[in-house]
Structure 1
Amino acid sequence: MEHLPQIKLEVADLSCSRDDRLLFSGLNFSLSPGQVLLLEGSNGSGKTTLLRVLCGFREADDGQIFWSGQPITESTFFADTAYVGHADGTKKELTVAENLRFALALSRSGKYSIEAALEKVQLAGYDDNLVQTLSAGQKRRVSLARLLITDKILWILDEPFTSLDRQGITLIENLIYEHVKQGGMVILTSHHDLSLPQMNLQRIHLDSCH
């Protein structure tokens, strides 16, 4: 994965409301290659909303978001970003391999082949299984494999540990560690206490951003 040194995500004075209730305001942060940002806060504090704003799924009430010094709508931000939300984002009627080939057709190839990615997420041999036959944890692993086969600088992960056992949680932590060590960036929400030693980890608690 090759990154230009000037790549940086900058959020300036971001504010957002839902149903006439202020979620957060005056939010400022920046993220550079090799960094992880953990969004914390109580249920309803706006964690998922903030991720949706970053992904372009909804607009903020106020503020700006820049990627490499340009507004995200005028930059390569969306091409450089991968999002895994509460839903696993797979097509249930397709096989595991078909889902990954579909994702690959829409993105630049990453360092892992489909076969290598499935082995990495402990789904080797599941290539021809229909996604609808998989468990919730296995579907989550398919989403993780999608991250590995595409070359995305920024991973945005909403509660990525959902439906995973301890082994699966460790797997995600290792994938995050590997990604940022190679110059990637990660923004995530989690109720799980992260085990990411020696990582450049920032924390923002949205309950205090009013």
Structure 2
Amino acid sequence: MSTPRLKIDNLFCERDERVLFEGLCFEVNAGEVIQIEGQNGSGKTTLLRILSGLSRHFEGDIYWQGEHLDNCAQAYRESLLYFGHQPGVKAVLTPRENLQWYASLHPEMDLTKLDYALVKVGLKGYEDVPCHTLSAGQNRRVSLARLYLSRAPLWILDEPFTAIDKRGVAEKEALITTHAQEGGTVILTTHHELAMGDKIRRLNLDQLAGTL
């Protein structure tokens, strides 16, 4: 059997003296789209933050392509794109400048598609407007535009369809599907009912970790 791209082994996380999950184990392979499900408070966002390296408040082991994350942290960071609840854009910069700044930190970004990306997220005409003048939804779209530029093999996406209309959701689903078809891996949470059929595998935290 081939080595899984990402392996989570016996993960435990407690917050505010409440266990979010324990004994959490699952594997994710290249070409897979994984939707993390669970009741509110089951730890979906916390899990994604752990997997993205933004939180160290856990016990257990995570392996990237067969190697323990402690031994390949830099390579792992360079291999993932994380989209969280906060847009993570610099307010004084324009959408174009934000993407250029982000790409300077992530060489795998393809800046030749910058204008295309901003059009696809509905920001045509706002490319050179300071982000502090944009709405919260528009700032999320600036961050979301990174998906069209990223060549990172692993995407970790927390509610990526928020503030996106039905057409936009369909386009992002198609983008995620294409990424998987090209050998990428996607782990996401969403409250949207996705129309990806058997192209997506759903993992319920309540069932995997025995949470209530």
Q: TM-score, normalised on structure 1? A: 0.90
In the TM superposition, what is the alpha-carbon distance from 1:48 to its structure 2 partner? 0.7
Is the partner of 2:61 in helix, strand or coil? strand
Contact 2:4 2:28 in 1 (8 A): no
Cα distance, 1:142 vs structure 2: 1.4
Aligned residue number for residue 127 of structure 2: 127
Unpaired runs of at least 5, structure 2: none
Structure 2: which amino acid aligns with 1:148? Y
Structure 1 letter corresponding to 2:78 = A
| Pair 1:43 & 2:40 matched | yes
**One of 6, 11, 23 as aligned partner of 2:8:** 11
| d(CA) in 2 for partners of 1:7, 1:128 | 42
TM-score (norm 2): 0.89
Counterpart in the other structure of 1:163: 163
Mapped partners of 1:150, 1:85: distance in 2: 15
Q: Note closer, same or farther for the CA distance 1:157–1:92 as it changes in structure 2 (3 Å cut).
A: same
Does the CA contact (< 8 Å) of 1:108 and 1:151 recur in 2? Answer: no
Alpha-carbon displacement from aligned partner over 1:15-43 (angstroms, at most 9, x marks no partner): 11111111111111111111011111111
Q: Tell me the amino acid that sits aligned with residue 34 of structure 2.
A: L
Q: What is the alpha-carbon distance in structure 2 between the residues aligned to residue 18 and residue 175 of structure 1?
A: 34
Provide the rounded CA distance (Å) in 1 between the counterparts of 2:108 and 2:115: 13
Given the superposition, is the C-alpha separation of residues 168 and 159 from structure 1 closer, same or farther in structure 2, using an over 3 Å criterion? same
- Higher mean displacement: 110-119 or 50-59: 110-119
Is the alpha carbon distance of 1:52 and 1:19 closer, same or farther for their aligned partners in structure 2, counting shifts above 3 Å? same
1:27 to 14, 20, 24: 24
Of all paired residues, the percent bearing the same amino acid is 44
Aligned CA distance change for structure 1 residues 21 and 38 (closer, same or farther; 3 Å)? same
1:108 aligns with 2:90: no
Aligned to 1:61: 58
Q: Aligned equivalents of 2:37 and 2:4: distance in 1?
A: 25
2:192 is the alignment partner of 1:192? yes
Alpha-carbon RMSD: 1.8
Aligned length: 205
| In structure 1, distance between residues paired with 2:4 and 2:98 | 30
